[in-house]
Each structure stands twice: as C-alpha cells, then as structure tokens.
Chain A
Amino acid sequence: MNYKFDGYRFDFVKHRKKYFIVSALLIIAGIVSLMTMGLNLGVDFKSGTRVQVQIGQTFKEADVKQAVEQIGLHSGSITTAGDKKDMAVIQFAEPIHKDEFAKLTKAMENKYGKGVSLQESTVNPIISQELARSALYSVLLASVGIVLYITIRFEFRFAVSSVLALLHNVFLVITLFSIFQIEVELTFIAAILTIVGYSIHDNIIIFDRIRDNLKHAKLKTVQDVEDVVNHSIDQTLARSINTVLTVVICAAALYIFGGESIRHFTLALIIGLIFGAYSSIFIASQIWVSWREADLKKSKKKNKLANNEA
C-alpha cells in the first residue's frame, strides 16, 4: 500500500448516509426487541436467588432438579455451565432463606461429595431497582460531565456528536443482549460504563486530530469540511485499528480463559469496544460533518441575503 500525503485512501464521509441508515435500522430492531422480548434480567435485577454449584463432574440437570425438590424448594430453571460442563446454575424466582441455602449445600454435598462449591446471590427487588436507577443516573451524569469537558476543551458540536455516538453504542450493546436474550447481571453495568469510557476515549482521539488539522485549514466549502475529516480519520486509522485490536485481544483472552462468572461481562465489553471503534469513525465524525456542513450552508445563505439587501 502506498501512503499518499495529499490524498486519503478512502472517502469515509461520502457514504455517511449509509452508516446512519444501518445504525438507524439496528436501533429500530433494538426498540422492537426491547418492547417485545425485553432483557433477560439476572437475579441482580429482579427478586430471587441464583445458586451456582461447582460440582466437579458431569451431571444430569434432572438429578439436580430432583435433589432441589426433595428439600422442598422450587427451582425456576437449572442450566449447565462451565468449560467442563461441571457447573449447575439454579434460579429461584423467590428469594431462598439462609436455612434453605444451608440445606441445599448439604443436599449437594450428599449427592456429589464434599468437593462441591456453592455460590449464591439473593436480591430483593427494592435493592435491584435502586441499582438499575443508579446505573441510569451514572450514564446520564457521565454524559453531562463529558459534554462539559469536551465543550471546554473542544467545541459544543464535538461534545454532542460524541455523546450521541456513545449513547448509540450503549443502546446497541443492550439491543444485542435483548435480541440474543443473554443474561444481564450486575457486572453488565460495569461493562456499559467501560464502554462509555472507551468510546469517548476513541472519539476524542479522532476529534483531537480534526481540531489539529482545522488549525491549518479554512472551511469555506462543504468539500473543505469533508477533506479535513477524511484526512483526520485516515491519519488516525492505524492507531484506531491497533488500539481496538489490543484492547479486544485482552478482552477476548478474558472471555475465552476468564471463566464462567465474567463471560457475560466480557462479551458486553467486546461488543461495546467494537461498536466504540466503529462509531467514532462512522457515526460521531459523520454527525459532526453533517452538522458543520449544515451550519456552513446556513451562514452562506445569510451572507447571500445580506449581500442582496445591500
């Protein structure tokens, strides 16, 4: 590949309507999916208890169910998990009492030996509602903080474009979790907020380059705006690709080798990181281009009117 200095390898700006359409379609799919299927909320977000049993050998789900029912508990669902298929996840729609948990521990030990290891989480609906609310506030507040910071350091248009792209990323991750009905746990919030941090990080680096290139450019025509943005994206492209690659390598290692308990977390992270890289090039920058061009046309019209009157 030959590096050309005065041109750019790809006209990123030209196809922006297509990116917007793709994202719009995904967002619509997300709204439909959220309204019809909703999210597969884990016990962290609704009332109930989730018990994870490390059995250490393969087992039949029916056997576990039988053992659970023998001690008088009603399990909602029992699923097999773990790399070696040696872990049972039992969901109870009602929170189980600590005595019942002790009984369950004994029952599992009796059935599968002393080597079993149990993990339990019980949440009361009030607490989980609080959690969800605080998560929502966090994202909104983080957005406000980021808008303020970027407006001070850059300009308002950059700030709004970044935050729109960021909300777009967060929404699309939620969408995919809804479409594929992947369980949403407490750590999902941490993943979402990492995505917020990362997509902003990514946006800033491209906007920083646009800002840098604007110092030497005069934006008189629509073409000028598009050239600056195309140049800027082109110049930062190697960095954008390499960075998302290294972060995704880390997250993927965590997904593959990190074990069951953080798999949903890392999945959300990987999807979010990729959307983050995509949106900083194809959404945030393109919103800025459209906005800037609209402003440019407006001021031209004004000038024309002013000239005509004179």
Chain B
Amino acid sequence: MIKWSRLVTLLLITAVVFGTVALTGKKVAMGTTLGLDLRGGFEILYEVAPLNEKQKLTTQTLKDATKALDNRVNKLGIAEPEIQAEGTNRIRVRLAGVTDQERARDLIGKPANLTFRDQDGKILMQGSDLAENGAQGVLDSQTQQPVVTLQFKDAKKFADVTQKYIGQPMAIFLDDQLVTAPVIKSVIPNGTAQIDGQKDIQEAKDLAAILNAGALPVKMKEVFSTSVGAKLGQEALQNGVEAGIIGTIIVLLFMIVYYRMPGVIACITLVAYIYLLLLMQNLMGATLTLPGIAAFILGIGMAVDANIIMYERIKEELRSGKSYLSALRAGSKRSLSTILDANVTSIIASLVLFYFGSSAIRGFAVILILSIIVSMVTAVAGSRFLMNLAVRSNLFNKPGYYGVKERDIREL
C-alpha cells in the first residue's frame, strides 16, 4: 500500500529545495566574492629590504610597511584591498577591480621620504615635520593650477628656515628625486608651503596621499606581479560558469538515466549541494578564483561519486534478494565507511595543499575541503534521508525503478 504521508514529505522537501534555490539562488550566486582573475585587477609581491645597513627587518617594520601601504591604497579609494606580510621579507598586495592599474601601481610602490634641502643638499626639514594629514592636493585659488599644499607641525621652525634662506631656492626631494625647487620669496610665518608642477588635480591628490601616508620604512622591489584585464576576467568567469552548468546538466541526466529513482534523488541533493557550497563560501568570505571554479566542479564529481557508491551498493543488495528497505539500509551503511575513507584521504591531500600552496592553490584547496564536507551532508546524509522516504512510501517497489533487472535478482 502506498504511504502518502511519506510521499508528500518527500515532495515537500523537494519543493522547498528547488523553491529556495529558485528564489535566493541568484542572490547567493551574485554574493560571491570574485578573485581578481575573475573580475580584473592585479596582484604584486614585493620583496622588502632594509633602507640602510643599520636598519634590521623585524616583524614590526614589516607591519609598519604594510600599514603604510594600506593607508595609501585606502586613499586611492580602492575597496577591499588585501595587503599582507608574507614570511620574513615579503608583502603581497592584491587589488581586485582596479581599472587604472598604472596609477595604482605607481602610488603603492613609490617611496615617500620627503626632505627640504638647501643648495648644498643639507636637509632642513623632513616629512616627519609635516602635520597629520598636512598635505592636500588642491587647485591654487589664484592660478587655478594643481598644487600640493603642506602644513607643518611647527610653524615657527618653518618661519626660521624661510627667514634664514630667503632669496635662495629650497629643493623639495622625494627620496633622492628632486620634485621642485621653489625660491623662497618671503618669510612664511604660518607654516604652510606648497609644491607645484603637478599635471592635474589627480596627480596632486595622489602625491598628497603618498606624503600623508608617510615614508615607507623599507625599500620595496616587485618580484612577482600578475594582472588581469577586466574584460578578460569577465570572459573567464562566464566561460567557467557556463562550463559548470553544462557539465552539471550532463551529469544530472546521466544519473537519472542510469540510476532511475535514486538518480532523481541524487539530482535534488546535488542541486542542494551546489547551493549550500555557494552559501558557505559567501558566509566564510572565501574568494572564488579560477582554480576555485575547477575545485568546485571537481567537488560536484566527488559528491556524485558518493551517490554512485551508495546506489551501486543498494543495487547489489537488491540483486542478492533483499527487500527494498533492507537493501537501502545495508547499502547505505556499507557504503558509508568507503565514502568516509576516500574523502578523508582527499581532505588530507587538500590540507597539505592549503598549507604549502600559494594563493591560487590555497583557494583551490579551501573550496575542495569545503565541498567534501558539504557533500557529506547532502550526498550522504541528505540522499539517505530522501531515499528512505521514497522507499518507505512503497511507490517504487519495482526493481526497474532502481535500474536492476528482475532476472538478476537471486532468491534469498
């Protein structure tokens, strides 16, 4: 006799799964943080060296440098910059969605040891004499030329300097680069100075940002860089997603044709799996990169494998003459240890990847681990639960529903 309560529960769960995916799926998919390979941007690895022989690189100097870089990037108005110290002498900067790469790259790596020198090169004042946020990129009210105005902490000190060197040029150096050398025409009592010669207001603002962020406490050399044009990134994403959808649909069809009723259940749990994986990834704030998509699709393969292992076992039990319910029980129980052992070894391999891999590989490993864990919930527990409902509903009491031939079934 058909047990409707079980059947209705099964249908209800199916409706809930598909309903949730249909209603919120798009939102979840859109909420994914994309790596720079998928939306354009760039990544630079800097090797950090001490400024001079006396200085020693410590974790603190590395931290200071990271903070200074962070300040600069923030001034650029770039969202979600990723700046982190790596090892003992490296800093990795990752900027996704940056359109004007040249400018950003210039600004980040530029030194900023500001000095004011006399004709003989003697340092009169330094960047550290600047007031907090004392540099500003503005348009000069009289000439309408872009300039950087400077405000010094100690107005008196600056007044003394201008008095002493009146009539002489005062050179403004950014590290060892001469920026400009205006002649001091009069004593400046209010502690302000100005650097002109900027091409446009943007350049003036950028220079002000560098000055305010202060001198980098270290020397930096680009040792690795990778950049992706926004258009290339989008194309890669679209391709990856399309490939994923096509692959998934073929696999779902295969499952239904080969495994029949259990195959349909596999489809429900697989859709739930993909949805949950995206959701988990968003909640964790993980970034989806190209290798990540690959791991994602491999994860689908692993989840399908869990289903296949279980269904093959159930088929075997059915062939040996067991009833549907006991075949399900024995099949899911005996397949569990197999799936567990296989997945644990894959997780071990992924953990090693995560620990030793570089950025892209780490993203890959994280998604693989995540997908194995999620698949244990959906493809193992979820599948088992739904199969139970289906079998107990007594609607599918024919071997054909399980892809088993009648004549293959032995007498017990």
| A interface with B by C-beta (< 8 Å) | 3, 5, 52, 54, 98, 101-102, 105, 115-124, 126-127, 131, 134-135, 137-138, 141-142, 145-146, 149-150, 153, 186-187, 189-190, 193-194, 196-198, 200-202, 204-205, 208-209, 212, 235-236, 238-239, 242-243, 245-247, 249-254, 256-259, 261-262, 265-266, 269
Contacts and interface: CB of A to CB of B under 8 A. Distances in A.
Contacts, number: 231
A238 B352 contact: no
B222 to A, nearest CB: 7
A201 B294 contact: no
Contacts of B37: 261
Interface stretch (B59-67, B250-258, B384-392): B250-258
B346 A249 contact: no
A54 B232 contact: yes
Nearest to A238: B312
Interface in B251-306: 251, 254-255, 258, 290-291, 293-295, 297-298, 300-302, 304-305
23 contacts: A117-B229, A117-B230, A118-B229, A120-B225, A138-B353, A141-B356, A142-B348, A153-B341, A190-B291, A190-B295, A197-B350, A204-B341, A204-B345, A205-B309, A247-B298, A249-B247, A253-B243, A253-B244, A258-B293, A259-B235, A261-B232, A261-B290, A262-B293
B308 A197 contact: no
A98 B108 CA distance: 12
B29 to A, nearest CB: 18
Contacts of B319: 3
Nearest to A243: B305
Contacts of A124: 47, 223-224
Contacts of A189: 357, 361
A42 to B, nearest CB: 12
A142 B352 contact: yes
A48 to B, nearest CB: 12
Contact of A258 (B240, B316, B346, B356): B240
A98 B297 contact: no
B357 A259 contact: no
B344 interface: yes
B231 interface: yes
Contacts of B225: 98, 120-122
Nearest to B90: A127
B351 to A, nearest CB: 8
B247 A186 contact: no
B242 interface: yes
Which 9 A-B residue pairings sit nearest by Cβ, starting from the closest? A117-B229, A253-B247, A247-B301, A259-B239, A117-B231, A257-B243, A121-B226, A197-B349, A250-B247
Contacts of B216: none
Given A122-B222, A235-B316, A246-B308, 13 more contacts: A98-B106, A118-B227, A121-B227, A122-B225, A134-B356, A145-B351, A187-B294, A201-B342, A239-B309, A246-B255, A251-B247, A251-B301, A253-B246
Contact of B254 (A102, A126, A194, A246): A246
Contacts of B368: 194, 197
B349 A187 contact: no
Given A119-B232, A134-B357, A247 B305 contact: yes
B360 A193 contact: no
A5 B408 CA distance: 9
B361 A254 contact: no
Contacts of B258: 242
Contacts of A198: 298, 346
Nearest to A123: B224
Overall SS of chain A's interface: helix
Nearest to A105: B102
B294 A190 contact: yes
Contacts of A121: 224-227
A243 B290 CA distance: 23
B349 A243 contact: no
A289 to B, nearest CB: 20
A250 B101 CA distance: 35
Contacts of A98: 102, 105-106, 222, 225
B311 to A, nearest CB: 9
A208 to B, nearest CB: 4
A245 B254 contact: yes
Nearest to B363: A190
Contact of A187 (B47, B224, B291): B291
Q: Which one of A127, A190, A245 has the greatest number of beta carbons of chain B within 10 Å?
A: A190
A174 to B, nearest CB: 17
Contacts of B356: 134-135, 137-138, 141
B240 A259 contact: yes
B333 interface: no
B405 to A, nearest CB: 8
A205 B308 CA distance: 12
B69 interface: no
Interface string B45-72: 1010000000000000000000000000
B83 interface: no
Given A187-B291, A190-B291, A250 B300 contact: yes
Contacts of B106: 98
A36 B251 CA distance: 41
A249 B294 contact: no
Nearest to B300: A250
A180 B212 CA distance: 54
A142 B349 contact: yes
Contacts of A235: 316
A123 B298 CA distance: 28
Nearest to A252: B247
Contact of A246 (B47, B305, B357, B364): B305
B145 to A, nearest CB: 25
B327 interface: no
Contacts of B102: 98, 102, 105
B403 to A, nearest CB: 10
Nearest to A249: B250
A146 B224 contact: no
B164 interface: no
B316 A194 contact: no
B86 to A, nearest CB: 11
Contact of A257 (B239, B320, B346, B358): B239
Interface string B233-249: 00110011011101110
